[in-house]
């Protein structure tokens, strides 16, 4: 398959983790005879520094002409503590989501057996967790009208949803549930918010079109508790933009590191793949950032184009790295494996699975030349 992939690696650790997923996609292209072409473009703080705009027109054009987008991370502390900043790196990502119509953000959360003791949550609580969060991504409070009065003393962010916006992501969530454990949990705040009451109505109407799949409702405050109390009760979580943002960071605790969580943002025509973590500025350039979230986002990219064997290969390689504890310090503090080491191990596993298996014993005792 020929794929033209726009690479928007962004700020902080974005470029170093994205570099690893490009390496992995190249290994896949080589092994399975595909042709992946990568085209880099600026986004975020680095784009502001170079062009004054967090999403330059040239970047948007590159994305509009690509088959898929691989995104790194954005954000820079110099904007975070300046409430008066007129341009912000995050605006680049939000504008991109809107311009490409990426209305569904899909975030899988899994507990790897090999990492059950890495999570601050107890092993028996997180064991067997397998959730996928469907977060609405182009509406709600993120995109509603914003205002501040002239004196600067009152501010407002409007939260709006239309029936159509709820319907399209709900169908995707139910289709996913049909192929999984057949349960959708709508997370909302219907006891307080009018938008949430509309979500309940619209989602309930759609649920009847998917017999055999159950629909449950949970208020977001309760959901936030249930996710860390009993996460294996969930299959597909469907929710609006901001609730999804918050609970997906919370759910990352289950996996043992936010550096493991990948995501796909899908629209009618375009698709973007990115780790859920931020730009982690303190780690920039130190070789300690976990590349797995980005690498698993590349696997989701392959899923999207129905390259299922290829995506499975990446996941197998990642699972193997995790089993052998070839992980960055967030998961293996004493291992001394860098971002690049982890990427290279996964790359070489894909290129030559047999050789890696033979070498496993050596890798464990640090004698391997593979990494």
Contacts with Mn ion by CB under 5 A lie at: 245
**For residue 12, what is the DSSP state?**
T
Residue among 16 and 245 whose Cβ is closer to Mn ion: 245
Q: What is the separation, in whole angstroms, between the first and last Cα of the chain?
A: 30
Instruction: Mark whether 84 is an active-site residue.
Output: no
What does the alpha-carbon distance between residue 215 and residue 135 come to, in Å, rounded to a whole number? 16
> Under the criterion CB under 6 A, does residue 235 sit at the interface with ligand IPM?
no
Residue closest to ligand IPM when measured from CB atoms? 90
Q: Are 220 and 243 in contact (CB under 8 A)?
A: yes
| Residue of 11, 188, 245, 303 with catalytic role | 245
Residue among 238 and 350 whose Cβ is closer to Mn ion: 238
How long a stretch of residues is the chain? 371
Residue among 213 and 252 whose Cβ is closer to Mn ion: 252
Least distance in angstroms from the C-beta of 278 to Mn ion: 7
**For residue 55, what is the DSSP state?**
S
173 burial via Cβ count (<10 Å: 0-12, 13-18, 19+): buried
| Residue of 189, 316, 340, 352 with catalytic role | 189
Residue among 27 and 227 whose Cβ is closer to Mn ion: 227
Residue of 366, 340, 345 whose CA lies nearest to 357: 345
Residue among 74 and 346 whose Cβ is closer to ligand IPM: 74
| Residue of 112, 142, 161, 337 with catalytic role | 142
Least distance in angstroms from the C-beta of 276 to Mn ion: 6
Least distance in angstroms from the C-beta of 338 to ligand IPM: 25
Structure tokens at 1: 């398959």
Least distance in angstroms from the C-beta of 85 to ligand IPM: 14
Site map 45..84 versus ligand IPM, x via CB under 6 A: -----------------------------xx---------
Selection from ligand IPM, Mn ion, none that 319 binds (CB < 5 to 8 A by kind) is none
Query: 17: part of which helix (H) or strand (E)?
Result: helix 14-32
Residues in 94-133 at the binding interface with ligand IPM, rule: CB under 6 A: 94
Q: Give the DSSP per-residue string, 179-241.
A: TTTSEEEEEE-TTT-HHHHHHHHHHHHHHTTSTT-EEEEEEHHHHHHHHHH-GGG-SEEEE-H
> Under the criterion CB under 6 A, does residue 93 sit at the interface with ligand IPM?
yes
Least distance in angstroms from the C-beta of 22 to ligand IPM: 20
What does the alpha-carbon distance between residue 174 and residue 152 come to, in Å, rounded to a whole number? 44
> Under the criterion CB under 6 A, does residue 276 sit at the interface with ligand IPM?
yes
Select from 87-95, 195-203, 250-258, 323-331 the region that touches ligand IPM (CB under 6 A): 87-95
Phi, psi torsion values for 234, nearest 5 degrees: -95, 150
Selection from Mn ion, ligand IPM, none that 259 binds (CB < 5 to 8 A by kind) is none
| Residue of 61, 128, 221, 336 with catalytic role | 221
The sheet with strand 130-136 has its strands ordered as: 35-40, 2-10, 68-73, 271-275, 262-266, 104-110, 130-136, 236-239, 183-188, 214-219
Least distance in angstroms from the C-beta of 339 to ligand IPM: 20
Q: Are 189 and 239 in contact (CB under 8 A)?
A: no
Residue among 245 and 303 whose Cβ is closer to Mn ion: 245
Instruction: Mark whether 249 is an active-site residue.
Output: yes
Instruction: Mark whether 189 is an active-site residue.
Output: yes
Least distance in angstroms from the C-beta of 277 to Mn ion: 8
Residues in 241-270 at the binding interface with ligand IPM, rule: CB under 6 A: 245
- Rg of the Cα atoms in the chain: 21
* Whole-number Cα distances in Å, 367 to 175, 310, 355, 370: 47, 29, 14, 9
Residue among 68 and 371 whose Cβ is closer to ligand IPM: 68
Instruction: Give contact residues for ligand IPM (rule: CB under 6 A).
Output: 74-75, 90, 93-94, 245, 276
Tell me which residues are annotated as active site: 142, 189, 221, 245, 249
């Amino acid at each position: 398959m020929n794929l033209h992939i726009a690479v928007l690696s962004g700020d902080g650790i974005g470029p170093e983790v994205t570099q690893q997923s490009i390496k992995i996609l190249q290994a896949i292209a080589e092994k399975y005879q595909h042709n992946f072409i990568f085209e880099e473009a600026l986004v975020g703080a680095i784009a502001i520094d170079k062009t004054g705009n967090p999403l330059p027109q040239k970047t948007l054009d590159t994305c509009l002409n690509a088959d898929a987008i691989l995104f790194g991370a954005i954000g820079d502390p110099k904007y975070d503590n300046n409430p008066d900043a007129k341009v912000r790196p995050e605006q680049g990502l939000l504008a991109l989501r809107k311009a490409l119509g990426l209305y569904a953000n899909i975030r899988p959360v899994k507990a790897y057996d090999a990492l059950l003791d890495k999570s601050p949550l107890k092993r028996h609580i997180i064991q067997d967790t397998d959730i996928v969060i469907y977060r609405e991504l182009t509406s709600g409070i993120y995109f509603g009208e914003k205002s501040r009065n002239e004196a600067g003393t009152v501010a407002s962010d409007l939260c709006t949803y239309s029936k159509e916006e709820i319907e399209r992501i709900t169908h995707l969530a139910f289709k996913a549930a049909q192929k999984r454990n057949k349960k959708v949990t709508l997370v909302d705040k219907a006891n307080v918010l009018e938008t949430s009451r509309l979500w309940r109505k619209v989602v309930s109407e759609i649920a009847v079109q998917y017999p055999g799949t159950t629909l449950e409702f949970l208020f977001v405050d309760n959901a936030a508790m249930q996710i860390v109390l009993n996460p294996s009760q969930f299959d597909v979580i469907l929710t609006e933009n901001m609730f999804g943002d918050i609970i997906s960071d919370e759910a990352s605790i289950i996996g043992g590191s936010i550096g493991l969580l990948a995501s796909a943002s899908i629209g009618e025509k375009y698709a973007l793949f990115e780790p859920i973590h931020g730009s982690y500025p303190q780690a920039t350039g130190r070789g300690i950032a976990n590349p797995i979230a980005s690498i698993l986002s590349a696997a989701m990219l392959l899923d999207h184009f129905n390259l299922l064997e290829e995506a499975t290969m990446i996941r197998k390689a990642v699972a193997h790295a995790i089993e052998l504890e070839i992980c960055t310090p967030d998961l293996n503090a004493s291992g001394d494996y860098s971002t690049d080491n982890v990427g290279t191990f996964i790359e070489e596993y894909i290129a030559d699975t047999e050789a890696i298996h033979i070498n496993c014993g050596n890798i464990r005792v640090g004698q391997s030349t593979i990494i």
